[in-house]
Chains A and B, each alone.
Chain A
Amino acid sequence: MSITAPLFQHHKHCDELFAAAEEACADGNWAAGEGAFALLVDQLETHFTSEEQLLFPAFEAATGMTSGPTEIMRGEHRQMRDLLAQMQAALASRDSDAFGGGAETLLILMQQHNMKEENILYPMCDNALGASDVGALLAERLKAS
């Protein structure tokens, strides 16, 4: 199994959570929406920090590339966190239009971010870090969440 396989699986898990939160809030089912959205935020945050604290530093140390793909991924994490904050505010004020618009934007951003990671960055990490223990640490961290 590749060391990034747990992250790959976790993307799918976050997709499920996104769909559940979006559906509940679109239906005006705010109570369920709040629970589902909190779960989504929690899991995305776990995912981002796992990458930022474990995977990216290991990759940068192994390859010496500190301003390349990892920098762009960190920037996109920032954008997604900002969008989640906007959605949180919309949820608090029960504004389904604002929530839906934020969700629409987050979805595209998140999907193209995932594809860049899955198609380019993760294979590069697997190559550079194949022999390290980063994979086990990632799996542990994502499982614990």
Chain B
Amino acid sequence: MHPSLSFDQAPPISVPYRFFLAAPWFGVMAGILLAWSGGDALASRWTPEVLALTHLIALGFMLQTMCGALFQFIPVAVGGNVWRPKLVANTVQPLLLLATLLLVAGLLFSRPGLLSAAAPLFLLAIGGFVVVVALALWRTPATGMTLWALRMAIGSLAITVLLGSLMVEALAYGLSVPILELANIHLAWGLGGWALMLLAGVSYYVVPMFQLTRPYPLWFTRWFGPLLLLLLLAWSSQLLVDDARWPLLVALPLLLLVSVYAGMTLWLQYTRRRKIHDATSMCFRMAMASMLAFAISGATFFLLPELGADPRFVVWLGMLAFAGVFVSAITGMMYKIVPFLNWLHLQRLGAPLSSVPNMNKMIPPEAMTGQLRLHALAVVLLLAAVWQPGLARLAGVAFAASCAWLGWNLVGAVRRYQTFRDRIRAAGLHH
């Protein structure tokens, strides 16, 4: 059978939602942790607090939502058949949740036993997820650059998790490994190869769709992913190349590539046909502006060593990447995907369409833009707190509040889904 005939194989709504609903609360934990710890926590990238914060966001917020979104996106956008999505999601999601909490506790309290326990759980959860998703991505007959970006992203996720597991086991058992280099490589594959590659691949598809922009130019989509992959491989070779200039030589083109993606996305949105501004387009603009700021700051870090010598500088870069780029972009995506999935699944119940409320009834637009303003304030405070430690507690509170509001908006959407579903079913019984 031609696989493209199974157009309509989106998973049950609970599959993406169980990931989406969990994610914001990890952001809340991160905010509370920062508010609790205060400004000294941000003194360098190696403090237990910063390591814990980073992984709360990277694994709890980003990886959760990205896994959930892939279950939805792969069948719909690239026609891939994910094997038993409900079973896989019901297994992977709790494992991932538990592994994240163990890892974060291990990093925060410097408990090697917890770290060592977290690693096999990650390998199991993400290993299983990677295999199932990779099978779907390599078997689909579809073509196109979104598909290739997804393939490269899922490979990068595997590399990131393997490197991470290697590092925690080395720490737990006191093995001697080049931990600084490994951490830099782990970070590059996680942020660049997985998160950015996935964001780019999804952008090729959703940016024109949500805002009626022109498509990304063919030359761009053709070269962005492969170049990113190549530069990440070059970055990884710092393990082998014994030349202090090597990271600089790789980092500058990498940052340039990142800014071309951000600039291109902003330009497409600026010249879009649709004139309406909504929460999603604002989230995307915030994410892309943060990405440009990240690229400029990163270049400064490498070119002006006296500035880069301050250990807080890397924390600044981390705030831009995690809170500024990815939390913003993911929030924007969820604000579009969740109302649409609510609508789609409700109208599939067979009720007359007029009885299904439209997308704006699922999450009120004011609730989304309000949360977004608080998120923007939180990002500004987080960035300021890197240099003004006195602001750290306030920044933590603001970030926790913003993530809680996001979580509340999503919970509200799910409750509305349930209410409307019950109403439609009850009405059906009367006929």
Residues of A within 8 A of B (CB): 15-16, 18-19, 22-23, 26, 65, 68-69, 72, 79, 82-83, 85-86, 97-98, 100-102, 104-105, 107-108, 111-112, 115-116, 119-120, 124
Contact = CB atoms under 8 A, between A and B. Distances in A.
A105 B274 contact: no
Contacts of A115: 77, 205, 209
Nearest to A100: B360
7 contacts: A22-B276, A83-B358, A85-B354, A86-B353, A101-B357, A104-B359, A107-B210
Contacts of A120: 4, 7, 79, 142
B34 to A, nearest CB: 35
Contacts of A19: 212, 273-275
Contacts of B8: 72
A69 B276 contact: no
Nearest to A102: B358
Given A108-B359, A111-B208, 4 more contacts: A69-B4, A101-B357, A104-B278, A104-B358
A79 B354 contact: no
Contact of B275 (A23, A100, A124): A23
A23 B212 CA distance: 13
A82 B276 contact: no
Contact of B273 (A15, A69, A83): A15
Contacts, number: 80
Given A26-B276, A79-B347, A82-B353, A108 B209 contact: yes
B209 A112 contact: yes
Contact of A83 (B76, B144, B353): B353
Contact of A105 (B76, B210, B273, B340): B340
Nearest to B206: A111
B336 interface: yes
B415 interface: no
Interface of B: 2, 4-5, 7-8, 76-77, 79, 142, 144, 205, 208-210, 212, 273-276, 278, 336, 339-340, 343, 347, 352-354, 357-361
B2 to A, nearest CB: 8
A15 B7 contact: no
A105 B276 contact: no
B7 A97 contact: no
B324 to A, nearest CB: 26
With a 10 A CB-CB cut-off, give which of B5, B79, B142 has the most chain A CB atoms.
Answer: B5
A18 B336 contact: no
Contacts of B352: 82
Contacts of A18: 212, 274
Contact of B274 (A22, A65, A79): A22
Nearest to B357: A101
A79 B345 CA distance: 13
Contact of B276 (A16, A23, A72): A23
A138 B82 CA distance: 36
A111 B206 CA distance: 9
Given A22-B274, A79-B353, A116 B7 contact: yes
Contacts of B5: 65, 68-69
A76 to B, nearest CB: 10
A98 B354 CA distance: 12
The 7 closest A-B CB pairs, nearest first, are A101-B360, A101-B358, A82-B353, A111-B209, A23-B275, A19-B273, A68-B5
